[in-house]
Amino acid sequence: MPALPDQLSALAFDFGTHKIGVAVGQSVTGSASPLPELKASNGQPNWDQVATLIAEWQPDIFVVGVPVMMDGSEFDLTQRARKFGQRLQGRFGKPWYPMDERLTSFEARELARAQPQRSKGLVDSLAASLILQSWFENEWPRLRKESQDENA
């Protein structure tokens, strides 16, 4: 694994078959902000819109929420989300990282109910921001340490 930078920016996606939530964030603060959701047709976004987001935000990586059942088992949407991450990497040449997204949609709906004016039409992107914040908190430190150990 190549050495990871001290800081990075990321685009996160909450994959869905009709809508895909999107958030942008950076590792310095571990924060993420929702962006407008992408419409999808059977899980396929308008790839030109994705390319526009990438050109605008210049992320170093992608984080994709991977849905699993509460017991950790996988189902059809799990594999589709993984395939979406692989397509992102293949099309745009940046690594993608999966992140368990259990309960993020539930939490995003609760946040949207609490702040309806600020989150109208952004529930899936709020979920993407929660996914990214969780990744920065849980996965980023581990990956940095592994990268440092390998390159020491």
What CATH number is given to the structural domain containing 63? 3.30.420.140
Write the DSSP symbol of residue 5. P
Is 35 part of a structural domain of the chain? yes
- The DSSP-derived string for 25-92 is EETTTTEEEEEEEEEEETTEE-HHHHHHHHHHH--SEEEEEE---TTS---HHHHHHHHHHHHHHHHH
Is 1 part of a structural domain of the chain? no
| Per-residue pLDDT at 111 | 63
Domain that holds residue 15: 9-144
What CA–CA distance (Å, rounded) separates 131 from 30?
Answer: 11
Number of domains comprising the chain: 1
Is 149 part of a structural domain of the chain? no
pLDDT, tens digit (0-9, with 9 covering 90-100), for 66-78: 987 667 666 778 8
pLDDT exceeds cutoff 60 at 12: yes
pLDDT exceeds cutoff 80 at 121: no
Is 152 part of a structural domain of the chain? no
